[in-house]
Amino acid sequence: MSAPGTLSVDLNGATAVVTGSTRGIGRAITERLLAAGAEVIGLQRGTEPVGPGHHCVGVDLTDPDARAEAVRQVLAEHDVDILVNNAGINLRHRFEEFPLPEFSEVMNVNLDAVVQLTQELGRPMLERGRGRIINIASMLSFFGGLNASAYAASKGAVAQFTKSVANEWAGRGVAVNAVAPGFIATELNASLREDEGRNSEIVGRIPAGRWGRADDIAGTVLFLTSEGAEYVHGTVIPVDGGYLGR
C-alpha cells in the first residue's frame, strides 16, 4: 500500500506539457509527473530543468505568436498526451483605479493563453482520440475576492471554459478538467502567512487547519491523469482543505 498522501500512477511513455513548470505549484506538478514516468516539457520564460526527463521551451506567455511558435516546436518532436495550464498572474488594484492594460495582461496570461494552448495542443489529441487537459482555476472561480477583479474574471472564465470544452470533447476521448487551489503556501503569498492576524484568520476558516502545500495540488493533477479519472469530465475540483464548505 502507498504511504498516506501518495498516489501510484504509471505515466511511462507519456508526454506532458506544463506551463510555469519550474516554480511553486507548477514545479510540484512537474515533479509528480516525472516521478510517475512522464516526460515533461515546460513552457515559460525560464529554461532550467527541475530534473531528468524535464526540459523547457522558453516562451513569453503574454505573446500569442510566441505561444504558437512554442507549440509548433513541441509538436514537431512530440505527441502530447497531457496538458496542464498552470501559469498565471495576479495584479491587484481597486477596480475604479485598475489600469486597463494591466487588466488585459491578466486576462491574456490567465485565460487567452489557456484557450490558445488548449486548442492547439488539443487538436492532435482529438485526432488520436485520447488526451488529458487540466486547467488550474482558483477559489476566485467561485467567489469574487477583493482588489482582484481581473484575476477573478479570468479564473471564473477558466472554470466555465473548462466545462464548455469538456462538453464537446468528452465523447471524443479527451478529458478536460480543472483544479481550484485554496490557500497554498508558496512564495507568492508569503506576506499573507507572515501577517499574524491575517494568517490566523485564514487558517481559522480552513477545516483542515493548515495552509495547503503545492504537492496537494500536484496530487490531484496526477489523479486526473490516471486511469481512475477516466470518467471524470468538466469538473472544477476544489483542493482547499474544506474552505468552500465552511
CA distance 206 to 165: 31
Over the range 174-209, which residues count as b (16 or more CB within 10 Å of their CB) and which as e?
bbbbbbbbbbbbbeebeeeeeeeeebeebeeebeee
pTM for the predicted model, two decimal places: 0.95
| pLDDT over 90, % of the chain | 91
Cβ atoms of residues 109 and 66 within 8 Å: no
Taking residues 42-65, report their average pLDDT. Answer: 96
Rg of the chain taking only CA atoms, in angstroms: 17
All three cell numbers of 181:
487551489
What proportion of the chain, given as a percentage, has pLDDT over 70? 98
Which of 103, 142, 151, 161 is labelled catalytic? 151
The whole-number average pLDDT for the span 96-107 is 97
Is 50 exceeded by the pLDDT of residue 3?
no
In a 13 Å sphere around the CA of 233, the CA atoms on its Cβ side amount to: 16
Instruction: In whole angstroms, give the CA distance from residue 170 to residue 233.
Output: 6
Q: Could you tell me the domains of the chain? A: 15-185+213-245 (3.40.50.720)
- Supply the mean pLDDT for the chain: 95
pLDDT of residue 2: 44
Residue 151 a catalytic site member: yes
Instruction: Give the CA dihedral 193, 197, 202, 206, nearest 10 degrees.
Output: 110
